Chain A
Amino acid sequence: MAAGKNSTAAADTIAMRRTTAAAAVGEAQAEIGQTMLRRGRQSRFWWLVPTIYILFLMLPIYWLINMSFKTNTEILNTFSLWPENPTLRNYRVIFTDPAWYSGYINSIIYVVMNTVISVAAALPAAYAFSRYRFLGDKHLFFWLLTNRMAPPAVFALPFFQLYSAFGLIDTHIAVALAHCLFNVPLAVWILEGFMSGVPKEIDETAYIDGYSFPRFFVKIFMPLIASGIGVAAFFCFMFSWVELLLARTLTTTAAKPIAATMTRTVSASGLDWGVLAAAGVLTIIPGALVIWFVRNYIAKGFALGRV
């Protein structure tokens, strides 16, 4: 009974802290806005640089999209800045041929598996690194980071044998586990940064109020670093989605990622540029969707939670 009362009290304190923090953030943002307004009056052309840069970024992507709506004859024989006879034929090929669309499904399956495994394993480890000192902690952290820095090509050599020995070749879990090599250290790094931003008093208050560690972690701590978890998941998704070397080494047919399907089709079928472009466009879409969800935290996430 008493414990229950205490825990609600703790929750109240935490809720209060969060509202004050939110208010502070709001004020800071308003201030930044005013500065921006002032700076905006000082120079009317601030928008020029971002606009030119974004145009530079979008031009190659536009060209790919443009090509994906053309027929191969148009691509090869006429040079046009937009499709003169727009066709959906390239996309139809991808959505009707299992060899193509199963690539997307495979990619998404192992990327999601990897994201879940990486974040789930990284959460307790990041908590340990941010809250405690223990035997060899700094060296362990450095060792984890070296795995983020090591070239996959170095490890790819015996990867096939290693995963064959466990009978995991051509399964989704194999790729998901292999991508943990660089995603788990990254997730630990990001989450540690976000967790270090949470005052330690919150943990202590909760323990005094009779919270067990798992309950405290799930009920109080995880909501506090929700944005950090989102960012870590985003980065795991991103690096697993874009990686090809390990994914291609570990799969043959049943779990082959879309990226590998693309390279193989290019070499086999005499360059179907239209379908290649359409497949490329379709690989950009999941990334674009994911960015939209994390847009407000993306800058902080790239700073690994340490600004």
Chain B
Amino acid sequence: MKTWNNKAWFMVLPVLALVAFSAVIPLMTVVNYSVQDTFGNNVFFWAGTEWFEEVLASDRFWAAMGRNLAFSAIILAIEVPLGIFIALNMPRRGWGVPVCLVFMALPLLIPFNVVGTIWQVFGRIDIGLLGRGLYALGLDYNYVNDPIDAWVTIILMDVWHWTSLVVLLCYAGLVSIPDAYYQAAKIDGASRWAVFRYIQLPKMHRVLLIAILLRFMDSFMIYTEPFVLTGGGPGNTTTFLSIDLVKLAIGEFNLGEAAAMSIIYFLIILLMSWVFYTVMTNYGTEKG
């Protein structure tokens, strides 16, 4: 049981100041921009709720939102089962453990734009191994011109980049299972599926929740990798919310509309984080 101590606030103060500086002031500014119009030079005109109406009525926004949701759903559907499967097949002891961990964590440590560059040079039909290989197999693959190929490449890139996160989290859950559980299961003659369903999955439940939370949120704010790989193209077929937002704010200098879009985007993120966080903490208290 934790003790009540309001002096603990002083320990939190530095963190509060650091994060508030970069979070609260920009957020307030975004709110201010979203109700005004500007042509530069810090001259602003009151616009009321016009920008919000415009964003909510724009096909462009909903299309980007739809693409983002589809992308998150697809990568979760691939990465979570694949991550669990790989984690179940990882060695638990011996020289294989550090080798697996180091190699699997490597993609996570590569700067986002380099990930984009790697897949750009890997997938190109003139110089890339993947592009050349698929071409040699007789497939008409070209991620620069074909929307479906672009999507396949981006999803493949994300699976390559982030599946290891799910693997490592599940692995952390699996190694915490005491040997006695497996022995008991063996005595009972439990099948492989029963061991997974009643011993391994419950142990992974909590870490899986963290994995899904992180993967969902990070895929929902994805920017750099697809921007480097496809630049949002061909056309607008891989323009996700963040890419569209940056295009609108910096490319078109449409601050008001970009700010309104930021706020809607942020509110959705806030709702989702709250749902995930509530599920996560309540699961924790139920099971102790």
A residues sitting closer than 8 Å to B (CB atoms) are 28-29, 31-37, 40, 46-50, 53-54, 56-61, 63-64, 67, 75-76, 79, 81, 117, 121-122, 124-125, 127-129, 131-135, 137, 140, 142, 144-159, 161-162, 177-178, 180-181, 184-185, 188, 238, 241-245, 258-259, 262-263, 273, 276-277, 280, 283-284, 286-288, 290-292, 295-296, 298-300, 302-304, 306-307
Contact = CB atoms under 8 A, between A and B. Distances in A.
Interface stretch (B44-52, B69-77, B114-122, B142-150): B114-122
Interface residues of B, number: 101
B111 interface: yes
Given A79-B132, A124-B11, A152-B221, A263 B85 contact: no
Q: Chain A: interface secondary structure?
A: helix
A180 B89 contact: no
Interface string B115-137: 00111011000111110100000
Contacts of A50: 86, 89-91, 96, 100
A53 B109 contact: no
Interface of B: 2-9, 11-12, 14-16, 18-19, 21-23, 25-27, 29-30, 33, 85-86, 89-94, 96, 98, 100-114, 117-119, 121-122, 126-130, 132, 160, 163-165, 167-169, 171-173, 175-176, 178-179, 182, 206-207, 210, 217, 220-221, 223-224, 228, 241-242, 245-246, 249, 255, 258-259, 262, 265-266, 269-270, 272-274, 277
30 contacts: A32-B92, A36-B91, A53-B163, A61-B107, A63-B122, A67-B127, A125-B14, A128-B12, A133-B5, A146-B270, A149-B273, A151-B245, A153-B242, A154-B27, A154-B262, A157-B33, A157-B258, A159-B26, A188-B15, A244-B112, A273-B127, A276-B121, A287-B110, A291-B101, A292-B102, A295-B101, A295-B105, A303-B210, A307-B175, A307-B206
A304 B109 contact: no
Contacts, number: 303
Given A50-B100, A177-B18, A307-B207, A63 B128 contact: yes
Contacts of B228: 263
Nearest to A49: B89
Contacts of B221: 149-153
Contacts of A149: 217, 221, 269, 272-273
B6 A298 contact: no
A298 B30 contact: no
Contact of A58 (B89, B103, B168, B273): B103
* Residue of B26, B30, B106, B223 ringed by the most chain A CB atoms within 10 A: B26
Closest 7 CB pairs of A and B: A287-B109, A151-B221, A49-B89, A128-B8, A158-B29, A33-B93, A124-B11
B273 A259 contact: no
A158 B126 CA distance: 40
Nearest to A304: B210
Given A134-B5, A238-B108, A150 B266 contact: yes
Which of B11, B85, B130, B165 is the most central at the interface, judged by chain A CB atoms within 10 Å of its CB?
B11
Given A36-B91, A159-B26, A263 B113 contact: yes
Nearest to B276: A149
Contact of B245 (A137, A145, A154, A295): A154
Among A79, A161, A259, A303, the most chain B Cβ lie within 10 Å of the Cβ of A303
Given A128-B12, A185-B19, A133 B121 contact: no
Nearest to B222: A151
A157 B100 CA distance: 40
A227 B19 CA distance: 25
Contacts of A157: 26, 29-30, 33, 249, 255, 258-259, 262
